[in-house]
Amino acid sequence: MPIILKSMVTLSEENYLKAIYHLGKQGVNAVSTNAIAEKMDTKASSVTDMIKKLAEKNLVNYIKYQGVSLTKEGRLTAASVVRKHRLWEVFLVEKLQFSWDEVHEVAEQLEHIQSKKLVNELDTFLEYPTHDPHGDPIPDKDGNITKTDKIILSQLQVNQRCMCVGVNDSSADFLKYLDKHHIALGTQIQILSKEPFDESLTIKVDDVVINISKVVANNIYVKSQTL
Amino acid sequence: MPIILKSMVTLSEENYLKAIYHLGKQGVNAVSTNAIAEKMDTKASSVTDMIKKLAEKNLVNYIKYQGVSLTKEGRLTAASVVRKHRLWEVFLVEKLQFSWDEVHEVAEQLEHIQSKKLVNELDTFLEYPTHDPHGDPIPDKDGNITKTDKIILSQLQVNQRCMCVGVNDSSADFLKYLDKHHIALGTQIQILSKEPFDESLTIKVDDVVINISKVVANNIYVKSQTL
DNA sequence: AATTATTTTTAGCCTTATCTAAAAAAATAT
DNA sequence: ATATTTTTTTAGATAAGGCTAAAAATAATT
**pLDDT (tens digit, 0 to 9) for every residue of chain B, 227 residues total?**
444 456 789 999 999 999 999 999 877 789 999 999 999 999 999 999 999 999 999 999 999 999 999 999 999 999 999 999 999 999 999 999 999 999 999 999 999 999 999 999 999 999 999 999 999 999 999 999 998 889 999 999 999 999 999 999 999 999 999 999 999 999 999 999 999 999 999 999 989 999 999 999 999 999 998 65
pLDDT above 90 covers a percentage of chain A that reads 90
pLDDT for position A6: 63
Per-residue flag: B34 CB under 7 A of strand D: no
Contact assignment for B125 to A98 by CB distance below 8 Å: no
pLDDT of residue A176: 97
Report d(CA B227, CA B217) in Å as an integer.
19
**Is B117 at the interface with chain A, CB within 8 A?**
yes
- Cα torsion through A202, A203, A209, A210, rounded to 10: -60
Q: Which of B101, B11, B7 is nearest to B59 (CA)?
A: B7
B117:A102 CB<8 A: yes
Alpha-carbon distances, residue A100 vs A128, A140, A167, A182, A193 (angstroms) = 19, 22, 11, 13, 29
For residue A94, the model assigns a pLDDT of 98
SS3 of A132, please? Answer: coil
Decide: B140 and B83 in contact? Cβ < 8 Å.
yes
| Buried/exposed A17-56: b ≥16 CB within 10 Å, e otherwise | bbbbbebbeeeeebbbbebbbebbebeeeebeebbeebbe
User: Side chain identity at A142, as an amino acid letter?
Assistant: D
The nt closest to A46 (CA vs C1′) is: C18
Q: Do B115 and A96 touch (CB under 8 A)?
A: no
Look at the alpha carbons of A94, A123, A39, B115 in this order and tell me if their dihedral is positive or negative.
positive
Q: How far is CA B153 from CA A97, A213, B191, in A?
A: 42, 71, 9
Sign of the alpha-carbon dihedral angle for A209, A215, A220, A226:
positive
Residues of chain B contacting residue A113, judged by C-beta atoms under 8 Å apart: 106, 109-110
Q: Give the H/E segment covering residue A91.
A: helix A72-94
A115 touching B, CB under 8 A?
yes
Q: Are B164 and B222 in contact (CB under 8 A)?
A: yes
Find residues whose C-beta atom lies within 7 angstroms of strand C: A 10-13, 42-43, 45-46, 49-50, 53, 65; B 32-35, 44-45, 47-49, 51-52, 62, 64-67
pLDDT tens profile A21-79: 999 987 778 999 999 999 999 999 999 999 999 999 999 999 999 999 999 999 999 99
For residue A25, the model assigns a pLDDT of: 84
Residue A180, chain B, CB below 8 Å: the answer is: no
pLDDT value at A106 more than 70 = yes
pLDDT of residue B105: 96
- Residues of chain A neighbouring B117 (CB-CB closer than 8 A): 96, 98, 102, 106
At B112, which amino acid appears?
H
Which residues 166-225 on A are within 7 A of strand D at the CB atom? none
Please give the single-letter amino acid code of residue A209: V
Tell me, yes or no, if B151 comes closer than 8 A to chain A by beta carbon: no
CA distances from A53 to A9, A23, A57, B82 (A): 11, 19, 6, 35
Residues 6+ apart with CB under 8 A from A113: A84, B106, B109, B110
Scanning residues 161 through 190 of protein chain B, those with a beta carbon under 7 Å from any atom of strand D turn out to be none
Asked if pLDDT for residue A223 goes beyond 80, the answer is yes
Rounded to 5°, angle at Cα A91 from A216 and A18: 65
- CA separation for the pair B37, B63 (Å, rounded): 17
Q: Which residues of B touch A97 (CB under 8 A)?
A: 121, 124
pLDDT at B53: 97
Residue A193: how many CB atoms within 10 A of its CB? 13
**What DSSP state is assigned to residue A138?**
P
**Domains present along chain B, CATH in parentheses:** 11-70 (1.10.10.10), 151-224 (2.30.30.90)
Q: How far is the CA of B12 from the C1' of D4 (A)?
A: 49
Selected for mutation to probe chain A from B99, B113, B123 (highest A CB count within 10 Å) is B113
Q: Convert the pLDDT of each residue in A150-182 to its tens digit.
A: 999 999 999 999 999 999 999 999 999 999 999
Amino acid at A65: Y
Query: What ipTM was reported for this prediction?
Result: 0.92
Least Cα separation, residue A172 to chain B (angstroms): 16
Strand partners, A151: A222
Interhelix angle A103-110/A72-94, rounded to 10 degrees, is 130
Separation of alpha carbons B9 and B50, rounded Å? 12
CA distance B190 to B156: 9
Q: Residue A4: its pLDDT value, please?
A: 45
Question: Is B122 touching A (CB cutoff 8 A)?
Answer: yes
Chain A residue nearest residue B121, CA to CA: A96
